[in-house]
Amino acid sequence: MRTAGTLLTIITTVVACSDGNPSAEDPAPDPTIASEGGASTPGSDATPPAPDDPSARARCAPDNGGIQLPDGFCAAVFADHLGKARHITVTPSGRVFVAIAPAPDGTGGHVVGLFDANRDGVADQQTAFGDLGGNGITWNRGQLYVAAADRIVRYAVRDGALRPQSATPVVVVSDLPATGDHTAKTVVISGDRMFVNIGSPSNACQVDNRAVHSPGVNPCDELATRAGIWEFDATATDQTLSCGTRFATGTRNTNAMALDPATRTLWGGINGRDQLHEDWPERFTEDQDMLLPSDEVVAIRNGLDRGWPYCYHDVVAGEMKLAPEYGGDGTQQGRCASIPSPDVALPAHAAVLGMAFATGTQLPRKYREGAFVANHGTRFDANATGDLHGYDVMFLPFSHGRATGAWEEFAVGFDAGMRPLPDAAPHRAVGLAMMPDGSLLIGDDKGGRIWRVFFTGK
């Protein structure tokens, strides 16, 4: 048990961090993460697909694979029954790789490679490799990075291949903290920089996690190694946490991360805290707990502090509030007054887990400047009724490289109207990725399905 008020002590361990060794055939690194958002160029208005557009040959499912989409869109079942399919990455030639999370006993994790050779919207080539699965995955300059709970590894995979050159991956970072809550890691690469989400091991840094009236540890000792974004050298090997630098802090669990290709700005979707009513019933009603706090989408810049565990975002009041574990009563801002509201406030407990910026020309113009986010679904009691948040994919419009603050539902129906949730839901959205033409991949870790969404103009 931790004691409230315990002073934070950081012990520095001397670890040999290996130098990077990029391949001689790698292209020059991408630009670094931008300090300010810039403008992106919108595409032209959408027109019905030309004969050489993949959507013209798309084998869309009659019911869109069980989801509902806006008018003019259809979905093919790109792949199915993959297991706990988490994040997705796509190479320039259209090879798709999916991180498959292991079972609770730690077995069964691996990577799936998929390719649609005949370009009908359905993968007709499938491979599986590795015995290390996880959450995050990204392909960059001939290297496939896979994020397990306690490490990041990479495979050499040339574009055009569905298997790595060697079955044994190279360890990029090991011994990452992986205990308690929020152990899944997300990885984003920009040039030679690798950004890794390390979620908090608790709900609100209490002395006793998720216990009624348990106060918050002050200062929160978890922030030394958790609840933040760390930066590492993507080309190096055998690194540990001490080899990285903390890029952002106070981000409870940023499972959704993506790089805006137009501005090189890193963005993240942060899962807000739980149990305001359960732990502090005299201060928050059940109805308030359904609405508070918001999940957040924010631009992640060096030095960012989103205030967790001391603060949460009150979407009703439109401002940050002091957490009850640190003396808040639902009205006070206190130390949180200086923290701005998020760029986009998503519904409470939507559980945003995936993010992808729109690219290509396949989608209509309104969807070409902005980001899609995948919401895994609410954590409420299985018997809860009413408007339960999540189980959808949203679109967040941007203007000149900045989120407008608005959001709109794009794909819904992953829960198929089934109750009780979450157990009865046939699908729960997690992974998102853009295909080279600009069609959208959506994956789920409940049914193991991946949809490919096209605009047909019909």
| DSSP secondary structure letters along 291-313 | H-SPEEEEEE-TTEE--TTTEEE
State the pLDDT at residue 89. 98
Cα distances from 32 to residues 29, 146, 260, 264, 311, in angstroms, run: 8, 22, 12, 7, 30
**pLDDT tens digits for range 199-216:** 999 999 999 999 999 999
- 272 pLDDT above the threshold of 60: yes
State the pLDDT at residue 6. 36
Which percentage of the chain shows pLDDT scores above 90?
81
Tell me the longest C-alpha to C-alpha distance in the chain: 67
State phi, psi for 12 to the nearest 5 degrees. -90, 125
> Does residue 240 contact residue 17 with C-beta atoms inside 8 Å?
yes
State the pLDDT at residue 36. 29
Q: Which residues contact 107 (CB under 8 A, 6 or more apart)?
A: none
State the pLDDT at residue 17. 82
> Does residue 363 contact residue 455 with C-beta atoms inside 8 Å?
yes
**pLDDT tens digits for range 133-166:** 999 999 999 999 999 999 999 999 999 999 999 9
- How many Å apart are CA 440 and CA 74, to the nearest integer? 11
Q: Which domains does the chain have, with CATH numbers?
A: 58-455 (2.120.10.30)
> Does residue 444 contact residue 427 with C-beta atoms inside 8 Å?
yes
- How many Å apart are CA 221 and CA 51, to the nearest integer? 59
Cα distances from 221 to residues 3, 225, 248, 271, 324, in angstroms, run: 10, 8, 16, 20, 18
State the pLDDT at residue 421. 86
Reported confidence tier of residue 311, pLDDT bands at 50, 70, 90: very high
pTM, entire model: 0.91
**pLDDT tens digits for range 47-72:** 444 445 667 678 899 999 999 999 99
- How many Å apart are CA 330 and CA 288, to the nearest integer? 10
State the chain's mean pLDDT as an integer.
Answer: 89
309: preceding bond cis by omega (within 30 degrees): yes
Reported confidence tier of residue 380, pLDDT bands at 50, 70, 90: low
Of 133-147, 350-364, 375-389, least confident by mean pLDDT is 375-389
Which percentage of the chain shows pLDDT scores above 70?
86
For residues 161 and 8, the model is more confident at: 161
